Amino acid sequence: MEYYGKIACISYMDLIREPNPIMSESNYKQLSRRGKINVVRPGKGLGCYALVEIATMPQRFQDKIKDKYGDMNSEILRMWFASHFHIDAEARGFYTRFRFEDGSALPPEHINEYTVNASAIQAVIDVMADTVIMRRAMKGGPVNWNELAGAINYYREEFGHTLPLSVNRFKGKVNEFKAKGYEALISRKFRNQNRRKVTYDIADLIRGLGAMAEHPYDTVVAEMYNQFVTGDLEVYDPETGEVFNSDDFTDKAGNPIVLSKGTIANYLKQPKTKALLAKVHQTQWDFNNLQRPYHLRHSPNYAFSKISADDRDLPRPMRDGSYVHAYYVSDVASGAVVGYAYSRKKDKDLFIDCMRNMFQTIDRNGWYMPAQIEVEHHLVNKFTDGLMQAGVIFPLIRWCNPGNSREKRQEHVNRAKKYSVEKRSQQNIGRWWAALEANRPKVEKVYDELNNTYKVPTYGYDQLVADDIAMIREYNSMMHPNQKKFPGMTRWDVLCRCQNPDLSPIDKAVLYRFIGEHTQTSVKQNAYITVQYNQYRLSSPEIISRLEPRNYKVDAYWLPDADGNIGEVYIYQNSRLIDTCRLVERYNEATAEQTEADREAYTDQAKYVAQFDAMVKKNKIHKLGINRPDVAEVIKEAKSVPIAVPTREPDNDYSEYMDVERFTADALNRI
């Protein structure tokens, strides 16, 4: 039997098949000719055979079909499932994407099982929706779940489903699927604690025992656990003071849940448990580098887009056994070291000296301000309100997490420099725990009464500093490691030629306040200040108007170049910039010995004096006179009184040459 569309049919050959044919060939032809049976497909054409609708055949023939081939109702359903069953792709997608509350997914075998079961139930739902088939299969009556369950379970092995064999459970599963959808097939016991040998409470207990300060072995943790659950050991929480109750770790029968050493060892070796215990037992450095995930980055495309700064102890000791402290600044894109400083002490001056060295290099090459600097909190956190405040000097500042050496690019530069140029020219470069034997320095122990002395070559401070500066120059001149991106270019070439075009010029007036040398001085003779025994002059005589009343004292900031020369000095008054002062060049006063430089120096100084004279002339103060009403009245009365003139003629009379009225008025004004 088979379906022709949605019509249950039997073939002509099955009707006349020996032994025990359903009908004879002549009987078939007669019924067909008289229209007593419905031949839905004639047997014409190559490989085509006739199909007869079973429901239109006389009852006696339907009974024979049932006796020979089985129950017609079940056969109708079986044939429908055989031709209509298919894997539900939507169900497979649902179970593949399904996640439990802890984020875990279904195992692959469960994904496949639930997908096939959902597909089988969907086929049952579809056949129930086919009213024609259901009417024929159920003979117009209600749904017969026995026949439905029997028909779908007939293909249990062929389809591979695991639906219940019980009719009631099968019916309940179908109805639950119709109400809840795909999630109804996920077993409720899949995440049930009762099915776990190691429950969540037991897991927390095992972790707590494994996290003890003694860092116990797995076997010791197993011993302590089993002693606790059997009542031979007391376990408590030191933070809360809570004492654990062993009765909470029993099965349904009240017996203690004793675990084998292998079970506990397997749990302690789970990746999640190992990570949690590592946080307790490992140092912050080890945890960051061995357990904690890290970011994946790539270097900038342009030099000075980002620079990185960090300190380092030079690997070789000095005569007294101490080490030289160094501070470096490197460009991230090129990898070149652009600033360095050394000291016997690791303090804030070491960082400032490195900044000075870097900006001297930048100024000497005419470069612009780096866009971003990367620093650590140690040493540098003392400058958070000034030099290391974003937007004051550096446009952007990144503070690295403490103890995370992988994050700082300068650490990468230190390692590359150490195991490239330093390793080739200096002895005892490496670490005693290095995996590669060639990177383990030779250390010989001296067995004396102290028992902590080692034979290690020592060096002078100046030699160590000179050697490291030479290594920096050699390292900067090495080929850039990314030759595909920067073909034929050294690290220094990349630094010089590939700088970010969006950088801004350096505001030295602001910068030198934080990293420059400082002294207090005074403006003398409306022009000069003295710094380092040299005279520097205001840029213009008009600058004196910016000074505060009765205050010629200023704060001078400057930064010498690599040769120690001071080209310009920035002066401030109460943190307010006053002017940029430049060195006054002296000239030879003997005209016969003057050079071109002397004449230029003379002209420059003469110009300033002329500017001062012009300012004084331009702002000339005109004297003013005053008239007081009371004095004017006295003058008026005085003029009305005749003046007695002596009659005796003096020997020399000069009265005719004198302006008597003017002198009289001047005298009255002085009263």
Q: Mean pLDDT, to the nearest integer, of 299-322?
A: 92
Residue tagged 């030759």 (tokens): 483
Indicate the average pLDDT of the chain: 85
CA distance 28 to 445: 110
| Residue pLDDT, tens place only, 648-663 | 555 555 555 556 666 6
Closest CA to 187 of 164, 203, 168: 164
Q: Tell me the pLDDT band of 425, cut-offs 50, 70 and 90.
A: confident
Number of CB atoms found within 10 A of residue 617's CB: 8
Q: Which spans in 308-374 are helix H?
A: 348-365
Number of CB atoms found within 10 A of residue 377's CB: 12
Q: Where are the domains of the chain?
A: 2-70, 84-185, 193-281, 307-426+459-497, 508-618, 629-669
Q: Mean pLDDT, to the nearest integer, of 66-94?
A: 78
Candidate from 53-57, 344-348, 579-583, 646-650 with smallest mean pLDDT: 646-650
Which value, in Å, is the radius of gyration of the alpha carbons in the chain?
Answer: 51
The one-letter amino acid code at 128 reads: M
| Residue pLDDT, tens place only, 620-629 | 988 888 877 7
pTM of the model: 0.62
Check whether domain 2-70 has CATH 1.10.3470, yes or no = no
Count of alpha carbons within 13 angstroms of residue 605, beta-carbon side: 15
Number of CB atoms found within 10 A of residue 477's CB: 13
Q: Tell me the pLDDT band of 441, cut-offs 50, 70 and 90.
A: low
CA distance 490 to 335: 10
Check whether domain 307-426+459-497 has CATH 3.30.420.10, yes or no = yes
553 DSSP β-pair partners: 522
Pairing type for strands 396-399 and 372-375 reads parallel
Percent of the chain's residues with pLDDT above 70: 86
Backbone angles phi, psi at 492, to 5 degrees: -70, -35
> Is the distance from CB of 304 to CB of 371 less than 8 angstroms?
yes
Greater confidence (491 vs 146) lies with 491
Candidate from 23-32, 171-180, 190-199, 247-256 with smallest mean pLDDT: 190-199
The one-letter amino acid code at 239 reads: E
> Is the distance from CB of 164 to CB of 121 less than 8 angstroms?
no
pLDDT the model gives residue 554: 96
Count of alpha carbons within 13 angstroms of residue 307, beta-carbon side: 28
| Residue pLDDT, tens place only, 277-286 | 999 998 887 8
| Residue pLDDT, tens place only, 191-226 | 554 445 567 788 889 999 999 988 999 999 999 999
CA distance 43 to 50: 4
CA distance 216 to 635: 115
pLDDT the model gives residue 660: 63
| Residue pLDDT, tens place only, 460-476 | 999 999 999 999 999 99
Percent of the chain's residues with pLDDT above 90: 43
Count of alpha carbons within 13 angstroms of residue 310, beta-carbon side: 27
Order of strands, edge to edge, in the sheet holding 39-41?
2-4, 7-11, 51-53, 39-41
Q: Tell me the pLDDT band of 102, cut-offs 50, 70 and 90.
A: low
The DSSP symbol for 569 reads E
Q: Mean pLDDT, to the nearest integer, of 234-263?
A: 88
pLDDT the model gives residue 549: 93
Q: Tell me the pLDDT band of 509, cut-offs 50, 70 and 90.
A: very high
Q: Mean pLDDT, to the nearest integer, of 49-56?
A: 86
CA distance 531 to 267: 73
pLDDT the model gives residue 190: 65
Q: Mean pLDDT, to the nearest integer, of 9-26?
A: 85
Closest CA to 522 of 551, 549, 546, 545: 551
Angle at 215 between CA 210 and CA 220, to 5 degrees: 60
Helices 218-229 and 200-210, axial angle in degrees (round to 10) = 130
Within 51-110, strands assigned E span: 51-53
> Is the distance from CB of 374 to CB of 409 less than 8 angstroms?
yes
Instruction: Answer whether residue 483 shows pLDDT above 90.
Output: yes
Q: Tell me the pLDDT band of 140, cut-offs 50, 70 and 90.
A: low
CA distance 661 to 6: 144
Instruction: Answer whether residue 639 shows pLDDT above 90.
Output: no
> Is the distance from CB of 327 to CB of 353 less than 8 angstroms?
yes
Burial of 661 (0-12, 13-18, 19+ CB in 10 A): exposed
Number of CB atoms found within 10 A of residue 286's CB: 13
Count of alpha carbons within 13 angstroms of residue 217, beta-carbon side: 5
Q: Tell me the pLDDT band of 419, cut-offs 50, 70 and 90.
A: confident
Tokens of 229: 């659950």
Candidate from 159-168, 407-416, 451-460, 591-600 with smallest mean pLDDT: 451-460
CA distance 65 to 50: 17
CA distance 576 to 579: 10
Count of alpha carbons within 13 angstroms of residue 61, beta-carbon side: 22
Order of strands, edge to edge, in the sheet holding 528-531?
517-522, 553-558, 568-573, 576-583, 534-537, 528-531
CA distance 120 to 152: 7
pLDDT the model gives residue 193: 46
Residue tagged 């008597």 (tokens): 660
Listing DSSP states for 491-536 in one string gives: HHHHHHHSB-TT-B---HHHHHHHHSEEEEEE-BTTTEEEETTEEE
